[in-house]
Chain A
């Protein structure tokens, strides 16, 4: 007979230790933060050893690796510099992401205290705390990042859809057409030599 019940009885209950091993996510309200603490000076040492090779001594980044500090006040400029200090809304994201995914190539190698210390140092690099600051689970929620208020929920349905839901022009829609920009002038596309030769053959 076909299965009828809502629950099929598949899988098995997750054990507490298993959930603890995998559930490391942290939310802006602090849910998920582990016990622990770390200060700016400890964070500086950890950062120099584990992070600076890509992100630069001051969070300014090496090459195309992400910039972590600076950029305040550039979001309404050409080429905005989107960093933790200038753009990120929540400190919890810093803790969560560093803990789960950094250093790049050696993820999940930092202890809970290490991550508190590095997070404190990143606040210092962004001029948001003094050099004697210590971050802990207890004071975490008191720290607010400067750009928190400048995000808003997707409003395309209200703002854009009315303008783009329409019967468009089909005939004699414009008098003249001019080319205003050309990719060939910029010339940054990889050469496709094999395909070009094949087409010419």
Chain B
């Protein structure tokens, strides 16, 4: 062993510490092989002055968190403009998604809109077609609501079998934030929906001109026109300055850069509800208007991007669960591939159509694990296995895959996306 510098001695000490910790039996406190240089040596931040309060007018995460980013899978789409990226679920905790990490799905890229030039029009079967400025919208009564937004295609690459290695990729087309906005009902009432107005058509202001048909009952119930997320203005990639919020329903309907809402007596059957966002079943027929996102969950740690690195002993398993039909009162987890299940510990706010956080603490004996989570929602619906879904749908429906996810954890703590019998 070369021993010419303090650095290599420190490295040697650190390696020794890690080795002895891994060898310890569960339940025994680790014993230091020697003094820890993180304690015995002065670190720069203990002696030097840090940056002042004017150095970071809009703060960013620590440089040591630079790997916590949205990621793209280039081969999924023809180009990165009409494409999707993924929220790093395995690096997050709690239930709120930081704005800068919320996954993106665009059909014509990010529209950069000057709010002074943004308008919202309401037309069609209304008494008075109206135009609102952003300033007008700020004068309506506001509401604050936490909702998950899940892409209909989340987990869609997994219909045929285990494909992508990491919950960021298999489950990361989702985010959960607090929206501030105005009830869509208030805006529609202002225009006066006629009795034959049965559907609305929200339309985006970007170059894809995104449109979807939504029944008037949903529009009048809990839809919001939102201008803030987690307290600050929407990010451009999330529809700045205005987006539609359609609680519990597939993300495609949450039209960004919202510029117009038409009221009609029939659905429009536009591209995003015919060619796309229809679910082809075995036999060649297809479901249309599959709006609700069913109950779903995933273990975020351990997972392929977040292996167990501490060796055997006390281990925290955690994950997220959500349902478009209500809350999640219960999540079950298994560590033996479904032979035996345990109720996980729910922690944090339980809000309607929002993400929920669950934990399961256990002593890992170092043997391989087959991890699964199973969400129960407030209607009594229990998350199905992938095979149970395939029995109803086949493997070509692309969207709405809420099947139970399995992670295989080997003796080294490394995790892999698998399917099991």
Contact = CB atoms under 8 A, between A and B. Distances in A.
Interface string A143-176: 0000000111111100111011111111111101
Contacts, number: 256
Query: Does more than half of chain A's interface fall in helix, strand or loop, or is it mixed?
Result: loop
B78 A63 contact: yes
Contacts of A179: 370, 408, 418-420
B307 A199 contact: yes
Given A151-B286, A184-B416, A189 B307 contact: no
A12 B130 contact: yes
A83 B387 CA distance: 28
B382 A166 contact: yes
B420 A178 contact: yes
A173 B338 contact: yes
A189 B67 contact: no
Contact of B274 (A12, A88, A101, A167): A88
Interface stretch (A40-48, A89-97, A123-131): A89-97
Nearest to A165: B380
Contacts of B142: none
A91 B294 CA distance: 31
B262 A11 contact: no
B196 interface: no
Interface residues of A, number: 82
Contacts of B81: 104
- With most chain B CB atoms within 10 A of its CB, the pick from A6, A159, A168 is A168
Nearest to A83: B275
B163 A188 contact: yes
Interface stretch (A24-32, A114-122, A132-140): A24-32
Contact of A177 (B136, B137, B140, B338): B338
B341 A169 contact: yes
A88 B275 contact: yes
Contact of B338 (A31, A108, A174, A195): A174
Contact of B382 (A108, A165, A194): A165
A13 B280 contact: no
Interface in B258-314: 259-260, 262, 264, 266, 268-271, 274-275, 278, 280, 282-292, 294, 304-305, 307, 309
A168 B131 contact: no
A182 B416 contact: yes
Contacts of B382: 164-168
B285 A152 contact: yes
Nearest to A174: B339
Contacts of B278: 151
A153 B289 contact: yes
Contacts of B8: none
The 3 A-B pairs with the shortest beta carbon distances in the complex, nearest first, are: A177-B337, A75-B284, A76-B284
